[in-house]
Each structure stands twice: as structure tokens, then as C-alpha cells.
Amino acid sequence: MTYRICFVCLGNICRSPMAEVVMRQQLHDAGLEGRIEVRSAGTGDWHVGERADPRTVEALGRHGYDGSQHRARQFVRDMFDDSDLVVAMDGNNLAALSRVAPPGRADDVVLLRSFDPDADGTDVPDPYYGGPDGFDEALAMVESSCRGMLGWLQDEILATS
């Protein structure tokens, strides 16, 4: 059985595409891409169908990732049916997702930084209104958190399946 993860931020053009691309690469490197699927979405609909923010693609590229194929989508309640875990980039998105979660699924919504034992906060800050440095900082948080999530997936999910 494939374990399915959906990363969620506000518009699905900055942080959640970063997490999708980074986690997909980490799963590939660990030889797990067939066992775990990742995708991303946004709680808002402003950017549906658009590519990732150019600054996101540039930051990913500077670190060896390819974000050029991303197209934004909106997270809708039915996406819970296709996700085992929904991973929010910040507390506001966590609250929005928890409000629309079907009965019994609120515990399947978590913060990405909860997987990073060295995190100095709970949120991956939204870099959209800032400069390029904010995108690199967000990417560093995403990479560290995804490494922690990969360990958790190997220990908690794959070990029991």
C-alpha cells in the first residue's frame, strides 16, 4: 500500500511546492519513491494552475532541485480521501485544514516543522512578500524538516506496513 502525503501552504506557489520537491528527492535518494507519494496544494485558490513563484524555482535550483514542473492547486476537503497525512506549513494553514477535516481526520493534519528536532519555531514563514533570502531560509527549514519526516516515515509508517 502506498502512503500518501499532501503538503499545504496558502497559495501553493512557495513553501508547499518546496516541500513536495524536496521530499520527493529525499524519497528517491532513500529508494522509497514507490512506497510514498507526495503532492502539494494551497488553502487558497488565487494561483490555481500557475507555476511555482519564480523565486521558489530559483531557490530550489540553487540547491539542486527542479521545481519547474509544478502547477498550483487548491486543497479541497475531498483531498483528505487521497491523503494519509496532510502537512501544513504554518499554524494558520493548520487551523484552516483542521476546520475542514472530515470527522476523525483532524489528527492527520500536522505541522511540517514538528518533524525537525532542531526547529526554533513551529512555522515555515511565508517568503512571498520578501526578498530572495526568505526563499532560501524557507528552503533550509523545509529540507531539515523533510529529513526528520523521512526518518519518521521509515520508523513509524514503513516499519509497520
Q: Answer yes or no: 14 catalytic.
A: no
Contact assessment for residue 86 and residue 3, using Cβ atoms and an 8 Å cutoff? no
**Catalytic-labelled residue, pool 9, 24, 55, 116:** 9
d(CA 52, CA 4): 21
Query: Which candidate, 93, 38, 101, 46, places its Cα nearest to that of 72?
Result: 46
- 85-88 vs 109-111, strand pairing mode: parallel
**Catalytic-labelled residue, pool 14, 53, 126, 146:** 126
d(CA 118, CA 35): 27
Q: Answer yes or no: 15 catalytic.
A: yes
Chain-centroid distance of CA 20 in Å reads: 5
Q: Answer yes or no: 126 catalytic.
A: yes
**Catalytic-labelled residue, pool 14, 15, 53, 123:** 15
Q: Write out the catalytic residue numbers.
A: 9, 15, 126
